Chain A
């Protein structure tokens, strides 16, 4: 059995038998008189065909594949339950998706300049990438930060850095997304205080905090604390947001990183939505009503190469989430039923070989996201298998979205793929496979328990390995990598991160520690420590620390002492 078929089998064990395909007399006749002679003359290119994720794809889809299909139940009109056709009645005719390019590198000054540049080029939302020390809760002058400051994103160690990062940005008008997880509550507090100091009203701020710790344990592995205190931080920031920042999305439940780690499309969807269920259960236990928090839950998916598989995944995401919210949680507010999501093209699909091919891949992936009804989109740059993108490459990635939006006709009607026998069938199959995973994870006692057993981690590793083997056996072709290989590769220009960023950040931290009121910092950190040991909401204490110019590393140090740290067990 080929690797892709094996992959398909892993991800699609049927829960209950599919309805038999009722082939029409006309189709039987076509098979006999048209198809068979054609196959006799020239057989197909290969024995069977599968999607990128290994799902079998048939030669032909007809009404017989949708015998069970019901327009009202399975699709509904756009803006109506179950939102398969989109969350807005007019979709992109009313408002185009937000073009939100993720960026961040070097010092806060460097990134502030890039953010202002992107706005000047017609980008409509901002998205900030932080460097690894920041993601892991270390200041730029910590020994473990050496060599990493400003490399994968911007270095932010204190309120002072955040103020520099946001200088001159119209925070009441432009929505800002921040990719930060373990220390999300702290970076968000820095954002809120910096915004307030610039004169912005918290009630008018719009943006998104990624704040999704479960997918860190599952896939990206940027965790600091054990699962229970990490979930507490997430819950408390969502509770705070529900009261204080009505237009802010305090979490972006993310499949992106799960997919990048090697998951199939179905695994990405199922694990992400099951994470959403887990957060909802914890929030209910914290005393919120479902309709108080559910309207502000947002999602983030990957858009990979396989156009129809991806479009079906996005459509199924909306349908399943609407059903989960209404039927599993009893949400009454339609806003709670709507799965609003950001999409990013698949970084793992980019090749170092023949990098200009990546422009084409990214365009197809962006097309899938728009056909799938995304609310916002990031398109990757052609040079990202080599380094962070140059300004030129990042601009081309933005232009790709602008061409799709304004020249392709894609945005002129809602859910253009609806009614395609193939896409409707794939949407139904994705939905069914997603519920199968829910059943397994529910039986394990929920997602935190499943993570502690290593279940999603193992499923993803198996899929990643099967995919790698399929590529090495040429069951899947990657242009420029395992076929159509160039005799000679022409090097491209890449972005070099100035090593000066680390020195600059060290100097600024040193000056900050000299300048600030040390006693005030100490009092604020002690108050945080005692609150962490109690059951109080930590957000006010974190805000207090931030206002005193306590650093990220100092606050995380306090929380590490109280909560402990997490290391992944070796799963066999």
Chain B
């Protein structure tokens, strides 16, 4: 577990198609040596969490610009808890009004990256906070 690269699911939930940010972040994470799975557009929270389970990712990066974050993000967090995947790092980038941030963080979002943030900050944050950087427990497989 310690040796493999960090695996990140980059996902765009909701009906919005603006994927410039998601694609740039996906590429920057790849350039930083991570394995990135990009879901493509218009994924439901259920599809995103299913993909996260199937791909056994360490982190999920959600791009959301449409204003639907207060509906979509709590549902993704809840589904992750249902799957026992609270240890998967959930980060978000996009247009998120400041007053919504505390509530989203309480709900399980580890970090919210505002417009203008450098991709290197996103890379560093993921490296510092994913579970694969904690000492790996002994496991049977």
Within 529-572 of A, Cβ neighbours of B (below 8 Å) are at 567-568, 570
A148 in contact with B15 given A351-B116, A387-B67 (CB within 8 Å): yes
Within 111-149 of A, Cβ neighbours of B (below 8 Å) are at 132-133, 135-136, 138, 144-148
B97 touches A386 (CB 8 A): yes
B15 touches A144 (CB 8 A): yes
Dominant SS at the A interface?
Answer: loop
B20 touches A262 (CB 8 A): yes
Docked pose: A85 CA to B17 CA in angstroms: 36
B139: interface (CB < 8 Å): no
Give me the 7 closest cross-chain CB pairs, A-B, nearest first.
Answer: A147-B71, A221-B17, A151-B67, A147-B68, A132-B15, A481-B116, A352-B114
Docked pose: A482 CA to B24 CA in angstroms: 17
B17 touches A220 (CB 8 A): yes
B120: interface (CB < 8 Å): yes
Quick check: which of A186-194, A246-254, A490-498 contacts chain B, the rest being far away? A490-498
B23: interface (CB < 8 Å): yes
Docked pose: A97 CA to B26 CA in angstroms: 41
B24 touches A468 (CB 8 A): yes
| Residue in contact with A385 in the complex, picked from B17, B18, B41, B95, CB distance below 8 Å | B95
| Residue in contact with B98 in the complex, picked from A151, A491, A570, CB distance below 8 Å | A491
B119 touches A147 (CB 8 A): no
> Looking across the interface, which residue of chain A has its beta carbon closest to that of B70?
A147
A-B contact pairs, 15 of them (CB 8 A): A132-B66, A133-B15, A135-B15, A144-B15, A148-B14, A152-B67, A221-B41, A261-B19, A352-B115, A352-B116, A353-B114, A385-B114, A468-B28, A481-B116, A497-B67
A472: interface (CB < 8 Å): yes
Residues in B whose Cβ lies below 8 Å from that of A570: 38, 40
A465: interface (CB < 8 Å): yes
Within 371-410 of A, Cβ neighbours of B (below 8 Å) are at 385-388
B116 touches A387 (CB 8 A): no
A387 touches B40 (CB 8 A): no
Residues in B whose Cβ lies below 8 Å from that of A431: none
B17 touches A222 (CB 8 A): yes
Docked pose: A389 CA to B38 CA in angstroms: 31
B72: interface (CB < 8 Å): yes
Q: Digit string of B97-117 for contact with A (CB within 8 Å is 1, else 0)?
A: 111000000000000001110
B16: interface (CB < 8 Å): yes
Q: For the complex, count residues of B whose C-beta is within 8 A of A.
A: 33
Within 51-81 of B, Cβ neighbours of A (below 8 Å) are at 66-72
A261 in contact with B97 given A385-B115, A497-B67 (CB within 8 Å): no
A148 touches B20 (CB 8 A): no
Residues in A whose Cβ lies below 8 Å from that of B38: 570
A212: interface (CB < 8 Å): no
Q: Distance in Å from the Cβ of B100 to the closest Cβ of chain A?
A: 9
A461: interface (CB < 8 Å): yes
Extra 4 A-B pairs, beta carbons < 8 Å, given A260-B18, A262-B20, A461-B27: A388-B67, A464-B23, A497-B67, A570-B40
| Residue in contact with B16 in the complex, picked from A132, A261, A385, CB distance below 8 Å | A132
Q: Digit string of A469-506 for contact with B (CB within 8 Å is 1, else 0)?
A: 00110000010011000000001001011000000000
Residues in A whose Cβ lies below 8 Å from that of B44: 144
| Residue in contact with A261 in the complex, picked from B20, B67, B98, B114, CB distance below 8 Å | B20
A260 touches B15 (CB 8 A): no
A291: interface (CB < 8 Å): no
A464 in contact with B24 given A152-B16, A494-B97 (CB within 8 Å): yes
A468 touches B67 (CB 8 A): no
Q: Distance in Å from the Cβ of B73 to the closest Cβ of chain A?
A: 10
Docked pose: A570 CA to B36 CA in angstroms: 14
Docked pose: A132 CA to B14 CA in angstroms: 9
Docked pose: A132 CA to B97 CA in angstroms: 18
Q: Distance in Å from the Cβ of A430 to the closest Cβ of chain B?
A: 23
> Looking across the interface, which residue of chain B has its beta carbon closest to that of A221?
B17
Docked pose: A261 CA to B41 CA in angstroms: 15
Q: Distance in Å from the Cβ of A212 to the closest Cβ of chain B?
A: 14
Q: Distance in Å from the Cβ of B42 to the closest Cβ of chain A?
A: 8
| Residue in contact with B97 in the complex, picked from A145, A220, A387, A482, CB distance below 8 Å | A387
A148 in contact with B24 given A352-B115, A481-B116, A494-B98 (CB within 8 Å): no
Q: Distance in Å from the Cβ of A223 to the closest Cβ of chain B?
A: 8
A216: interface (CB < 8 Å): yes
A468 touches B119 (CB 8 A): yes
Residues in B whose Cβ lies below 8 Å from that of A471: 118
Within 37-51 of B, Cβ neighbours of A (below 8 Å) are at 38, 40-42, 44
Residues in A whose Cβ lies below 8 Å from that of B68: 132, 146-148, 151
Q: Distance in Å from the Cβ of A527 to the closest Cβ of chain B?
A: 28
Q: Distance in Å from the Cβ of B80 to the closest Cβ of chain A?
A: 18
A568 touches B41 (CB 8 A): yes
Docked pose: A351 CA to B23 CA in angstroms: 19
Q: Digit string of B1-28 for contact with A (CB within 8 Å is 1, else 0)?
A: 0000000000000111111100110011
B27 touches A465 (CB 8 A): yes
Docked pose: A353 CA to B44 CA in angstroms: 31
Residues in B whose Cβ lies below 8 Å from that of A351: 115-116
> Looking across the interface, which residue of chain B has its beta carbon closest to that of A495?
B97
Residues in A whose Cβ lies below 8 Å from that of B119: 468, 472
Within 62-81 of A, Cβ neighbours of B (below 8 Å) are at none
> Looking across the interface, which residue of chain B has its beta carbon closest to that of A149?
B68
A147 touches B14 (CB 8 A): yes
A151 in contact with B66 given A351-B115, A352-B116, A494-B98 (CB within 8 Å): yes
> Looking across the interface, which residue of chain A has its beta carbon closest to that of B120?
A472
A464 touches B20 (CB 8 A): yes
Docked pose: A259 CA to B119 CA in angstroms: 20
Docked pose: A352 CA to B28 CA in angstroms: 21
> Looking across the interface, which residue of chain A has its beta carbon closest to that of B16?
A132
Within 449-474 of A, Cβ neighbours of B (below 8 Å) are at 461, 464-465, 468, 471-472
Q: Distance in Å from the Cβ of B64 to the closest Cβ of chain A?
A: 10
A496 touches B97 (CB 8 A): yes
| Residue in contact with A221 in the complex, picked from B19, B70, B71, CB distance below 8 Å | B19
Residues in A whose Cβ lies below 8 Å from that of B42: 144
> Looking across the interface, which residue of chain B has its beta carbon closest to that of A569?
B40
Docked pose: A497 CA to B66 CA in angstroms: 12
Most buried by A among B41, B44, B67, B119: B67
